[in-house]
Each structure stands twice: as C-alpha cells, then as structure tokens.
Chains A and B, each alone.
Chain A
Amino acid sequence: MTRLTRRLFGLGAAGLCLAGRATALRAAEPREAPALAARVKEGTLPPLAERLPAEPRIMPLAALRKMPGRHGGTLRMLMGDQRDIRFMTVYGYARLVTFDMAGDLVPDILARVEVEAGRVFTLHLRTGHKWSDGHPFTAEDFRYWWEDVATNARLNRSGPPMPLLVAGEPPEFAVLDATTVRYAWKTPNPMFLPALASAQPQVIAMPAHYMKRFHARHAEPAALAAEIKAAKVRDWGALHERKSRSYRPENPELPTLDPWVNRTHPPAERFVFERNPYFHRVDEQGRQLPYLDRVEMAITASNLIPAKVGAGEADLQARYLRFDNYTFLKEAAKRQGYRVLLWEQGNGAQVALKPNLNAADPVWRALFRDVRVRRALSLGINRKDINEAIFFGLGREAANAVLPESPFYDPAHEQAYARHDPAEANRLLDAAGLARRDLTGTRLLPDGRPALLTVDSSGESTEETDVLQLVAEDWAALGIRLFIRSSQRDVFRRRILAGQCVMSVWHGMDNAIPGPDNEPEDLAPTNFTQAEWPLWGLWAVSGGKEGEKPDLPAAWRLHQLHAAWRVSRTREERAAIWREMLAINAEEVFTIGIVNRTRQPVVVSNRLRNVPETAIFAFEPRAYLGAYLPDTFFYAEGGG
C-alpha cells in the first residue's frame, strides 16, 4: 500500500471514530437548523437524524481554526454572467475526495478510499447518505454513470473521459455492495483521485433514480418523447446531458450532494440556492452544515460589480474584484459594514508573456526556440518598476514558478532570469543573431525585417495592457518594439492555435501550490490552449493525431516526464518528476513570468465569520473559496 493509501485510510478511520462521538452529542441536544424545523414539524421533511448519513463527516472546526457557528442567514453574491452559477459548485467544494490545505487528498462525500498499488481504487460510501431530494445515494448511482452514461455510445461518443483512461484503457468497474464500488486499472492511474477532487470535478456518479427518466434504455418511450418535446431538444442524448449538468447547476430538479441547491430555473437575474437538508457534514456540536440557509447570486454586468460591492450589495465577493478596486472598496468599507481582505493569487505569475514556439512566422519561431532569446527577453524586463507602479510593490518579482506554500518551492527557480539586466540581455540577443539594427536602433530580424513584436492579449484587463506598456518601454532598450493587440477571448484562442500570434500575454501556471498528486499539466505540452506551444499541446492531447510532435529536446523531455507522471505509482516518484519539470521550466524560460503573489481583494461582511484573513486565492487546488469551507461560514449574532 502506498503512503497515500495509508493517509486516506487513516483519515477515514478517524472520521469513523469522530462520528460515534457526534451521534452521542446529537442525541443529547437536537441541532436542527431553525429554517428546516417547521418542515420537520409539518412532517414534510424527516428529522435530522434520519437525513444524515450514519457516519456524517464531522468538521474539526477547532483544528481548522474556525469557530462553531449558528444557523441562519442569507449570503449575497454578485456574478457577471448567468453561467457563473457554476461557482456555487466550485465554492461548495463537496467532492468525493477533496484536497486539504496541505495538498493531501482526504475523503469527503466518501467515507474511505482504499488504493492498491496505485491502480485499484475501492470507494466506500457513507451508509445512509442521501441526495438532496432524500433518495439514498448508493453504488447504483456509480453503476448508472459508468454503464449507462460513460460507456454509452450516444452520451459519450469518444468513450469514457480522460481521467478514467490509462493509455486508452478503461477500468474494470465493479459494485461490491450497496455502498462500495471498485475501479481497477491494469496500471497505476494517478489522475483518478485528483480529478475527483478538482474544482471542476470529474463526475462519476449521477442520481440514477432521477436521471433514468431521461435515458432511452430506462425510460418509457412515450414519456421520454414527451420530455424531449417539452425541453425542445434534438434527442434523448441532448436531454440527458442538459438535465444532468451538475457543474453548472442549471436544473433545479437535479438532486445534488452540494451544501446548497439551486432553486431557480434559468434564465434569471437572481439565483437562489437553499440549504441541502441532506448535506453530509456536521460540526463538532452536531449541527448540520451549512450554517447559512441561503445563497443569493445576483447577475449583473461584470464591470458594475465593484461599484455594487462598494454600495453594500454583496456579503462575500471576490470574483470580478480586482486589486485596483481595493482603495475604492476600502473607502466604502466602514459605511457598508464590510471588511476587505487581501488574499494572494495562487498562480505562477499574475502576468506572463508566452512566446509562441509554434508561431506561423518562421523567423520568430526560430528565434523563440533559441533559449538565449527567451532568457534575454526575461532579463530585459524591469520587474521591480512594474511591481511598484502597478501592484503597490506588494507582488513578488518572479519568474513563472511555484509559490513557497508548495513543497517544490525553490528560490532559485523563482528568481531564474528574473533580475533586470539589460546589458546581459543585449549581449544574448546580439549572440542570437539579432546584432544588426536599423537607424532608429530597432534590431533587425535575420530576414531583414525590423523586430516589431506584436503581443496578443485577450483584452480582458487593463492591468495586462498597463504591464505590457511598461514592458514595451523596457524592451525598447533592447531594440525590440512591442505592440499590443487586444482581441476577444475566443478570437485570441483561435489566433494562438493558428500560430498567428507570435507572443501572447496571459497568467502563469494555474496551480502554483501543487503537491505531487496534482498533475503537472502546465509544465509540459498537454493542451492546445497553451499559448507557448499550442501545436505540441494539440499533438499531446490528440494522442499524436493532430498538431506537431515536440521537436525541442527540453520540451520533449517535459512531455516524457509528464507521461511518466501519468503512470507513476508512488508519491515520491511523482514529487521527483515535479522537481525535474520545474527545473527545466526555470532554466528554459518557456514562459516569462513578471510578478506573482499579487493580491486579490475579498470583500466580507463584518458579520460573516470563519472566513480566513489571509489565504491563497486559486481555482486549483483551492476551488477559490471552496477549500476554506463556505459551509462553515456563518453570521454572528445580530441579524441574518
């Protein structure tokens, strides 16, 4: 058994013993949420003891440095788009297994996970766990997803999703009993559990009792035809897909395991999420979580969100707030009764330049494949000036590298080619065949064109353009003239893949606080959305059918290391792979990070408790607010 297995096992066992104590407490004093008490009294809802699993997950609030709370209250949030209701799934962060603060996997919805040799995963459900409509959550829900959805030709044309395939091979799925399922691969699958714990999780169980209605194999044809007609979709497959969408909870009827359940049919301007009466977590006093009864998400224009937050229209808000809104938010804080916390961004670089090694322009492509050019461009940036001028000096002048919170942090990687050294940069560029200059001092490319470098941006933030303007001044001193082209995100992506864009600006690696269990996908060609090597990424993701094979030795090595991670057996093995990949990236400067650990303002109502004062704001692995357990947030005495 691996170390991971022991860890998971150990926590599972701890959970069991805590559950026993909590049952005793609950017997002593019933801890029903007042909002649900009336329904229990009416008889429309079973009492709490019948709603909770036999062994609920008991949140060790004291150990998490949180206070035990009280029930009640509505949390207001603002979002810029109706599709943003997906953030409720992210913030809820109820997963089969979750990442904890140390980056370790712990069971959440599951009672326990057993892993043998990194390839046989036995998932143990909590006995008596129920969906939000009160129907039991059992192995049948896993069976339904695997047999009727994942391997159904209509619903998943290309077969089961990536994390469930190892070298193209699906697992051996078996139902052991009503609360136990097993996935067994022939070789290790380190992707499986992290995918379940992701902020955008891999679904492997669906409420079968509800979904069967929309499935051609189970539904009565006449009833199904009527449903298809009512939903105005093409066929049952589209209907099933629409009704089962859980990441973006658009279907209020869909049973869920999340702390809050959507009660509003889209389209709407305001979405109301109500507490899930069957949620599986309780506090140490036996109170069922979440503490907050309702979450209201108002949809508004995203550029108005800072203004509305300043007008006191949100109780908890981070998304759509930018660092430069801080002063404005802070000025209104006292009047509106909120506080503004400054969390740290959890990406490898807040702003990173990505030279396109697959650019269509052969001259630039050849130049960018020369590591001297990439290093020179990095050395030519005055990061301190940018940090001072745009980020109040609060960021860290660094390359695109992992943060100190990660076990793989290495100051040498962070500072690799991140100092400002125009002399060295000019020397490197001269050596790389760019020594000739025109009358204005602009370098000439090997084919005689002046070195005019157009940087594409998705046009979403003025911060990027401001940084680019400063970089343009710095690079002018290197004899390279930078131009900014703002487009729109889809156009931007398309231009990158087509190689039309020579260099682009984006942020650095998404997960800069990785543990060994996180896939090192940002460090190697793995996806066509990677602006530094879109065609190599396409090659990797298509299994070599499309795109181009990485032909730069360093990139090929990264590809091999990533492949090795995907068949790795132990944590130690994975950690070693991570370290080597980070070292290669630092040395090769495939992406030019400018500044990281910049601040993210988080507006929190003064009455809201248990929100950490400082934290890392990251989609992976923290699910933005999710890892800080919004189900334990509560309103202090004096309203709600």
Chain B
Amino acid sequence: MTDPHPASGALPLPPPGGRLVHVAATAPFNPHIEEALTETQKKVYLADQLTLMWWKFRRHRLALVSGLLLAALYAMILIAEFLAPYNYEQRHTGFIYRPPQAVHLFHEGRFLGPFTYATQYRLDMETMRRLYAEDTSRPVPLRFLCRGDSYRFWGLVKADIHLVCPGEGGTLFLLGTDRLGRDVLSRILIGARISLTIGLIGILVSFTLGIVIGGLAGYYGGLFDLLVQRAIEIVQSLPHIPIWLALASIMPPHWSPLLVYFAITLILGLMDWTGLARSVRSKLLSLREEDYVVAAQLMGAGTGRIVFRHLVPGFMSHLIASATITIPSMILGETALSFLGLGLRPPITSWGVMLNEAQNINVVALYPWLILPVVPVILVILAFNFLGDGLRDAADPYH
C-alpha cells in the first residue's frame, strides 16, 4: 500500500524541547482506494457513530421499551396538572380512605361509555371503618377535556381544564384517596414532577463536579490530584444521614417548596460527585498513557482538546452507565430523604413524601392503595437501569 500522505519533509522539527506545531494534512484522504465499497457496504461500514449506536441500541428491546416509557413519563410531567383528575391538594372530607374506584363501560348491559358509579358511604361504628360501596343504580359518565378543580399550571397560570373529570355528583378516585380524602392518582402525577426531575438536576450537579474535578485530577496528577483525592476521602467519610439531618434542619421552614426542592437536589448532587470523580480520574490515568494521546500531544493538541475530544469519548460508555445508575439512586435518595421526613415537606408532594405518609401498620393492613407510589418508583428505577444497560452497550458499538 502506498502512503497517501507522504511525510512532509518540508516542516522543520523544532529545536529539542520546543513545542511541536499541530499538523494535520488537509488533502482528502480515501482509505478505500484499493477496494471500492458497494452502496450497501458503504451504509454499514461508513455509518457514523450515532447511527451505529442507534442500531445497537435498537436491538436491545428492553432498553428501547424502557426508553420509551421514560420519555412518556417525562413528557407527562410537563402537563401533570392537566392529566390529574383533581387538584392534588383538594380534600374530600366525605371520601376519606376511599379505595380505588373502577371505571365501567356497560351499565345493565348497555354501552354507556366510560363512567363510574356513585359512591355510598357508611361508617362502621363497630370498627370505626369508613365503608364505601358502589351505587350501581346511579352511573355517572366521565367527562373529558372538562372543567374541574382549579389549579395553577406550573404554579403560575390559573386554569381548570382537566383531561378527565368525574361527572356531576360522581367521583373518580382511580387509585383511591388518602387520610384527608385527597386523590392518590393526582398526587402521584404531581409528585412525579419532583421525583423524576430531582434525579436529572441532581445528576447535572454531580456530573459537572465529577467530570471536571476528576478529569483534571486524572490528567494533571501531581499535587492537584493529591488534594482532590484527600478531599474526596473526606467527603466520602461523612456519614450521609446526619449530614442530611443537619442540612434539612437548617433549611428554614418558610422556604418555598421550590427552594427546598432545589436545596435537596443540591445536597444530593454535592454528596454524590465523589464516586464519579474517582472513576473518571482512574480512567483518565490509564487512557492518558495510550499511544493516541501521545500522538495527539505530539501533534500539539491542548489539554482541553485532548481531554474532551480524545479521552472522554473513550469512557463515554462508562459515563452513560454511571449516569443511568445515578439517576435512579438520586430518585431513591429523594424518596429516602422524604420517607425519613428530612426531605420535602407537605404541601409539596413527591413519591417519597407519599410513602412517608404511608409508613404505618394501618396502611399496610387496611389501606394498601396508599403504598401505590412504590409502583412508579420501581418502574422508573428499572427502566433507568435497562436503559443504561442498553446505552452502555450501544456506546461501544464495536464490542
């Protein structure tokens, strides 16, 4: 094979110890001079990185489904107030601890469209239990794109349009109500907004810190690396729960729920970057010894270019994997914090807050539907893990 790029003898070498000039030939280079590719072959062999990743990813069915599910969930939280049949704070004193209610289509053999039956309420004075029964003589058709409880869309715009509302005099508690008679489904939907985004924002913080600090430590080594390592050890040795306790207690109670929410994501992010920084550093330590890095250095590339153009793609798959594992751990972190009563506080709601309210024997024994927020938590975490699995495989398409 003849060399298409004969070494240019025209450039003089710098004096020993001097800086090399960054040289890359500008002339077009065709590696397929010898053997031309067919169109089909071209499509495969010359496919770019993203296409290859997509092909690989597509073959991982579970990851694909998980990805779609997550996309749907994240799309949903944009319009959660609209999707929720009730305002999540609305109490229904007459329907406390009402079990999930079924939607019917046929009434006495006749198709009515979706409807619910009116509820009969009876207090069992013997066991102090509120008993609800369907009044099967009174179907109440559901209304769609209707006016219901008013809410502030995104906390800003006042509105009262819902995707679905109960008919006049009827109710629509698809997942039951809690101890104050609030609709569990509406609360799960609104709570998703907090629970799902807390992971993303938290990971943004922890990734920024982790990659920048870990990357610099790994690439430069030396004193900086030493300081960063010791700092990481200190941060990692801090016990999490007492720190959360301390941080939660210094948050003033009159902070708006939104501010509390950001503070919590910040706390989660600040506690979480160390692991990532460590792995980024060790990856960099090994990768920076690779020949192509030496080549890039010889070609005169700067630190930023080497780290972000040559090194980071080298462990992209690793980053993706740890991101997709960190998001669920952030979600779980928020859930755990709120479950312990350290995180978000009512009236703001998240899945963790809901589970916190459900942690007693009464709920397990009598009102099991209040544990339902566990279902989305499990689904989201599984989905993230499958998605991460697929993405990691896809990020390394030749493997």
- A interface with B by C-beta (< 8 Å): 303-304, 306-307, 310, 324-328, 330-331, 385, 388-389, 392, 452, 454, 459, 462, 465-466, 469-470, 473, 483-487
Which residues of A sit under 8 angstroms from B361, Cβ to Cβ? Answer: 304, 306-307, 310, 325, 328
Tell me whether A328 and B362 are in contact (CB under 8 A). Answer: yes
Tell me whether A326 and B128 are in contact (CB under 8 A). Answer: yes
Given A328-B362, A392-B128, A487-B249, A469 contacting B180 (CB threshold 8 A): yes
Given A327-B127, A389-B180, A462-B357, A310 contacting B365 (CB threshold 8 A): yes
Tell me whether B91 and A389 are in contact (CB under 8 A). Answer: yes
Tell me whether B253 and A485 are in contact (CB under 8 A). Answer: yes
Tell me whether B249 and A303 are in contact (CB under 8 A). Answer: no
Which residues of B sit under 8 angstroms from A473, Cβ to Cβ? Answer: 91
Provide the B151-187 mask, 1 if CB < 8 A to any CB of A, else 0: 0000000000000000000000000000111000000
- B interface with A by C-beta (< 8 Å): 91, 93, 96, 123, 126-129, 179-181, 249, 253-254, 341, 345-347, 357, 360-362, 365-366
Task: Give the docked Cα–Cα distance between A389 and B181 (Å).
Answer: 9
Tell me whether B179 and A330 are in contact (CB under 8 A). Answer: no
Tell me whether B93 and A385 are in contact (CB under 8 A). Answer: yes
Of chain A, the residue at the smallest CB distance from B345 is A484
* Smallest CB separation, B158 vs chain A (Å): 13
Q: Is the interface of A mostly helix, strand, loop or mixed?
A: helix
Task: Give the docked Cα–Cα distance between A392 and B126 (Å).
Answer: 12
Of chain B, the residue at the smallest CB distance from A472 is B347
Tell me whether B180 and A466 are in contact (CB under 8 A). Answer: yes
Which residues of A sit under 8 angstroms from B180, Cβ to Cβ? Answer: 389, 466, 469-470
A-B contact pairs, 21 of them (CB 8 A): A306-B360, A325-B361, A325-B362, A326-B127, A327-B128, A327-B362, A328-B362, A330-B127, A331-B127, A331-B366, A389-B91, A389-B181, A392-B123, A392-B128, A454-B253, A462-B357, A466-B180, A469-B347, A483-B253, A484-B253, A484-B345
Which residues of A sit under 8 angstroms from B181, Cβ to Cβ? Answer: 389
Tell me whether B341 and A459 are in contact (CB under 8 A). Answer: yes
Which residues of B sit under 8 angstroms from A470, Cβ to Cβ? Answer: 91, 180
Tell me whether B179 and A327 are in contact (CB under 8 A). Answer: no
Tell me whether A328 and B366 are in contact (CB under 8 A). Answer: yes
* Smallest CB separation, A327 vs chain B (Å): 5
Which residues of A sit under 8 angstroms from B345, Cβ to Cβ? Answer: 484
Tell me whether A454 and B128 are in contact (CB under 8 A). Answer: no
Given A306-B361, A389-B96, A486 contacting B254 (CB threshold 8 A): no
Task: Give the docked Cα–Cα distance between A327 and B365 (Å).
Answer: 10
Tell me whether B365 and A388 are in contact (CB under 8 A). Answer: no
Tell me whether B346 and A465 are in contact (CB under 8 A). Answer: yes
Task: Give the docked Cα–Cα distance between A385 and B91 (Å).
Answer: 11
Task: Give the docked Cα–Cα distance between A75 and B179 (Å).
Answer: 34
Tell me whether B360 and A303 are in contact (CB under 8 A). Answer: yes
Of chain B, the residue at the smallest CB distance from A330 is B127
Task: Give the docked Cα–Cα distance between A304 and B249 (Å).
Answer: 26
* Smallest CB separation, B213 vs chain A (Å): 35
Since A328-B362, A473-B91, A484-B345 are in contact, a sample of 8 more A-B pairs with Cβ atoms closer than 8 Å, ordered by chain A residue number, is: A306-B360, A324-B362, A327-B128, A331-B366, A388-B93, A452-B254, A462-B360, A487-B249
Tell me whether B253 and A389 are in contact (CB under 8 A). Answer: no
Tell me whether A454 and B254 are in contact (CB under 8 A). Answer: yes
* Smallest CB separation, B97 vs chain A (Å): 9
Tell me whether A331 and B365 are in contact (CB under 8 A). Answer: yes
Which residues of B sit under 8 angstroms from A392, Cβ to Cβ? Answer: 123, 128
Tell me whether B254 and A483 are in contact (CB under 8 A). Answer: yes
Task: Give the docked Cα–Cα distance between A324 and B345 (Å).
Answer: 22
Which residues of A sit under 8 angstroms from B357, Cβ to Cβ? Answer: 462
Which residues of B sit under 8 angstroms from A303, Cβ to Cβ? Answer: 360
Which residues of A sit under 8 angstroms from B128, Cβ to Cβ? Answer: 326-327, 330, 392
Give which listed residue, A327, A454, A462, A465, contacts B366 with CB less than 8 A: A327
Of chain A, the residue at the smallest CB distance from B123 is A392
Task: Give the docked Cα–Cα distance between A307 and B360 (Å).
Answer: 9
Given A330-B126, A385-B93, A389-B180, A469 contacting B346 (CB threshold 8 A): yes
* Smallest CB separation, B127 vs chain A (Å): 4
